[in-house]
Amino acid sequence: MSLSSLKDELNTGIDSLDYEHRKLVGVMEDICVSFDHGESSVSDLFGTLHARASAHFALEESIMREKKYAFYDTHKADHEQLLDRIRFMMDAYEDGMCKECNTSLRACLEAWLAGHVANADMELSALAERQP
């Protein structure tokens, strides 16, 4: 599975979340391409990814609080775990210790995003449909 093939699988039915998911995938793809080509924009793109992910998670968490989502704490912890992974990879890249960073980043992000959206975000979507 590739990042670009995930785009269709990320539709939750909540337009604002779906838009953000597509934007996150776009930044992830940009990082992987820039890394492959040795471009200096990788550090900036990691910063963009972290900022976009933080903003996206804040939106999701706002919806969860509004809908009184029962698994809020678990879902929020999942968000924090990905932000920690992004920070770790960003630091490793900036410290020059990231020879396989692109491969691990791509695998990490694909697995996390597909799993998180398929489970936690789809549960939130189902709740939002039941509670308009």
Q: How far is CA 97 from CA 30, 94, 101, 129, in A?
A: 20, 8, 8, 45
Helix axis angle for 15-36 and 42-66, nearest 10°, is: 160
- pLDDT tens across 80-95, in order? 998 998 898 888 888 8
Return the domain boundaries, the chain: 3-130
pLDDT of residue 1: 43
CB 60 within 8 A of CB 79: yes
| Segments of the chain scoring below 50 in pLDDT | 1
User: What is the 3-state secondary structure of the chain?
Assistant: CCHHHHHHHHCCCCHHHHHHHHHHHHHHHHHHHHHHCCCCCHHHHHHHHHHHHHHHHHHHHHHHHHCCCCCHHHHHHHHHHHHHHHHHHHHHHHCCCCCCHHHHHHHHHHHHHHHHHHHHHHHHHHHHHHCC
pLDDT of residue 44: 92
Place of tokens 């678990």: 74
- Write down the CATH superfamily of domain 3-130: Hemerythrin-like (1.20.120.50)
pLDDT of residue 89: 83
